[in-house]
Structure 1
Amino acid sequence: MLYELGNFLLRLSDVFSFCRLVNYLTFRAILAALTAVVFVFMFSRPFIRTMHRLRFLDQFRETGIRTAHDKSGTPTLGGILIVGGVLSSMLLWGNWRNPFLLYALAGMLWYGGMGFWDDFSKIRRGSGNRGMSERTKLLLQAVFGCAFAWGWVGPWAPLSRDLAAGLYVPFYKYPVLTLHPLLYAAFIVVFVLFVSNAVNLTDGLDGLAITPSLFVMGVLGIFAYVEGNTIYSGYLFYPYLKGAGELTVFGAAFVGAGLGFLWYNAYPAQIFMGDTGSLAIGGAMAVVSVLLKQEMLFPILGGLFVAEALSSQIQDKIGVRWLGRRIFYRAPLHHSLQHRGIAETKVVIRLWIISGILALVALATLKLR
């Protein structure tokens, strides 16, 4: 809204020459972050009170960790605050004619809507184990993945088909191969499913998922700025993605909303993001990674989420189902660390540190290529 208004006034008269600021990505990114954090701060306390009044509280789910019992009864659905902060910020500062932004918002809203359905089902049924079925969840995730992949390499691709289907790896300047559109579409579907569920599995301790998410989206925002700029992308040998710079504004809004949410989600949490937040974050993260051609960077940048997802899947699919026994004491990773007697706050902060280090390594790939 303000982006469009600024450009309208700029065309109207030279008196409004200061409105050209809205055309600077850095200016809009800073204001987008501030808008999102103010939104979350303004609405968090009323939202928490409303969740208490409506009895929209977290439902206990057995994890084998004693401290989990202390968390039942904490308000959930906090992901609405994160999504609301990003969306309100984008309404003011986003360029809604930009296809990169529309894809990113679509991913966040679709997965956030799924998460809301899952959270509401658990609340209504009074059990943390009785939400949306795994089959339904995977089906809905796959539906979006297929639609997104079809649009990205098909009729609504903002890039040429060869560029859109190119596969890039960290520390190497050129695409390692260009996949057939159908094969790349299948890769996108699998990637989006994996990333969204990885974030969902990580959200198990106070503040654990949100801070690594800020690292990931912050770094992706920097990549968006580089790849959307002809000078920087050419200097660093990245493909120039016309319009991708708008994801810098989106990433900044996400960081602002996440920081505001962390204020209330840090130990002891006053509110949980629920699947509404974790799936929305994972969906946005996956879509932005694909849009920026940084899918293969995610194992480094989102290494914590990868470790959490793999530990859970190895435990469940290989250990329990195939071998008939546990491979780890507990899964995912954060529960395994708790089982060893490490305090929750120490587990969370140490995993934050690891995630921050991985983000720095990912940033180093900008130059080390």
Structure 2
Amino acid sequence: MKLVILSTFISFIIIFIIGPYFIPFLQRLKFGQSIREEGPQSHMVKSGTPTMGGLMILFAIILTSLLFITNRTELFVALIATIGFGIIGFIDDFIKIILKRNLGLKAYQKLLLQFAIAIFIAVYAANHQNIGTVLAVPFTNMLLDMNFLYIPFTIIFIVGFVNAVNLTDGLDGLASGASFFSAVFFVIASLYNGYYELALFAGSLVGACLGFLRYNIYPAKVFMGDTGSLALGGALISLAVLTRMELFFFIVGGLFLVEAASVIIQVSYFKISKGKRIFRMTPIHHHYELKGWHEKKVVRVFWLIAFLLAIIGYIALIINI
């Protein structure tokens, strides 16, 4: 437990220290965020705010994890997932910001890269003697053997939740705060289940989220960009897969699930109804903004939801034991 606290502290301090130097560096490079005209008008004042701050998150997680890594391959895989998805986000941000192509990577390009990483993780887990094709079932002491369905289920789970975390990154501090609560859950779950190196990795994720919130909370001094949101998604899904707790993440990561579901529902209904909408704007956090909620209120309410879902996940974990 002391080492987990230390990994959290080190990761937090890394971002806390480099932030005042790295953010002006992004400003000098003119890595400013472009705000979509079709988005909430209140966001237009954020135009030009430095983005790609997710590089700080990646640096903190990688450096902290390497300080504690031994010969256990699970931590290497968690790092590969985090770095891999972070690189996809970096390429996307680079194209949008440097090459001035607003949409970044094309959808099929992004999905191909994401599926490649997801296949690697799923195949690794399925063939690992301590993971295999079984999943822990929340609120029970059962293990569900997915057999031949494990790999396709895990691939879809990974790609789906990584993009769900990405969609959640739309308000100052929202994605980093929600990821913080999920990461705390995985610290506890990893310790309970004996995944001590993964607990250290989860601790580095907790510290990185806290450190980044110092600069990302409203009004944000820096945005994480796709670099950060995809890296956070990669870190969280790797923890879920490598601890056999994918089903738990449907509870703990429920906020991400709702954000993604709101987009799917909106797009589907728009096509079926020939132009009608259910929500004023999606992801759903924008719906509440357009209803008159201040951005800070939306974030606080969504943080509370993420916190409560993490508590429910903890209860499901205790009963499972």
Q: Is the 8 A contact 1:52 1:75 kept in 2?
A: yes
Q: Tell me how large the CA RMSD over aligned residues is.
A: 1.3
| Offset of residue 126 of structure 1 | 3.0
State the distance in 2 between where 1:274 and 1:78 align: 7
Task: List per-residue Cα deviations over 1:276-302 (Å, max 9, x = no partner).
Answer: 000000011111101111111112101
32, 35, 47: which one pairs with 2:7?
32
Distance 1:300 1:86 in 2: 24
Equivalent-residue separation in structure 2 for 1:323 and 1:113 (angstroms): 38
1:173 to 141, 162, 165: 141
The count of corresponding residues between Structure 1 and Structure 2 is 319
1:354-365 equivalences in 2 (<5 Å):
354-365=305-316
Is 1:101 the counterpart of 2:106? The answer is no
Deviations 1:72-109 (A, max 9, x none): 100001110011011111122232x1111111101100
Match of 1:142 among 106, 110, 115: 115
The answer for the alignment partner of 1:48 in structure 2 is 23
Alignment-derived partner of residue 18 in structure 1: none
Query: Which one of the candidate residues 169, 191, 198 is aligned to 1:225?
Result: 191
Q: CA deviation at 1:192?
A: 0.3
Q: Is the 8 A contact 2:125 2:241 kept in 1?
A: no
- Provide the rounded CA distance (Å) in 1 between the counterparts of 2:69 and 2:38: 41
Taking only the aligned residue pairs, the percentage that are identical comes to 39
Partners of 1:224 and 1:117 in 2: CA distance: 31
Distance 2:60 2:120 in 1: 26
Query: Match of 1:249, as an amino acid?
Result: L
Q: Give the secondary structure class of the aligned counterpart of 1:209.
A: helix
- Partners of 2:313 and 2:19 in 1: how far apart? 32
Residue deviations 1:292-351 (CA, integer Å, cap 9, x gap): 1111111210111111010011112x1223332212111111000001000111111111
Structure-2 change in CA distance of 1:294 and 1:308 (3 Å): same
- The one-letter code sitting in structure 1 at the alignment partner of 2:20 is R
TM-score of the two chains, using structure 1 as the length reference:
0.84
Opposite residue 221 of structure 1, the aligned amino acid is V
Native 8 Å contact 2:141 2:319 kept in 1: no
For 1:51, give the aligned amino acid.
L
Cα gap change, 1:42 to 1:305, in 2 (>3 Å): same
Structure 1 match to 2:48: 73
Aligned residue number for residue 16 of structure 1: none
* Secondary structure of the corresponding residue to residue 272 of structure 1: coil
1:174 alignment partner AA: M
Indicate if the aligned counterparts of 1:103 and 1:148 stay in contact, CA closer than 8 A.
yes
Aligned equivalents of 1:294 and 1:150: distance in 2? Answer: 16
Alignment partner of 1:287 is 2:238: yes
Q: Using the TM superposition, give the Cα deviation of residue 60 of structure 1 relative to its aligned residue in structure 2, in angstroms.
A: 1.8
The one-letter code of the counterpart of 2:110 is K
Provide the secondary structure at the position in 1 that maps to 2:37: coil
Unaligned runs of 5+ in 1: 1-25, 229-243
CA distance in 2, matches of 1:279, 1:288: 14
Distance in 2 between residues matched to 1:178 and 1:92, nearest whole Å: 35
Amino acid at match of 2:206: V
Q: Deviations over 1:176-214 (max 9, x none)?
A: x31224x21111110000110000000000001101101
Contact 1:99–1:158 (CA<8 Å) still a contact in 2?
A: no
What are the superposed Cα offsets for residues 3-37 of structure 1, whole Å, 9 maximum, x if unpaired? xxxxxxxxxxxxxxxxxxxxxxx222121111111
Asked if the contact 2:7/2:200 (under 8 Å) is kept, the reply is yes
Cα deviation, residue 258, structure 1: 1.1
Instruction: Tell me, in whole angstroms, the C-alpha distance in 2 between the residues paired with 1:148 and 1:296.
Output: 16
**TM-score normalised by length of structure 2:** 0.96
1:185 equivalent in structure 2: 151
In structure 1, C-alpha distance between the alignment counterparts of 2:68 and 2:294, rounded to whole Å? 41
Asked whether the equivalents of residues 59 and 126 of structure 1 are also in contact (C-alpha less than 8 Å), the reply is no
- 5 Å-filtered alignment, 1:156-305, equals 157-159=128-130, 164-175=132-143, 177-181=144-148, 183-228=149-194, 244-305=195-256
1:61 maps to: 36
CA drift at 1:158: 4.2
Gaps of 5+ in 2: none
Q: 2:39 and 2:183 mapped to 1: Cα distance? A: 32
- Corresponding residue of 1:9: none
> 3-state DSSP class of the match of 1:192?
helix
CA shift for structure 1 position 166: 1.2
Distance in 2 between residues matched to 1:55 and 1:311, nearest whole Å: 33
| Contact 1:289–1:295 (8 Å) recurs in 2 | yes
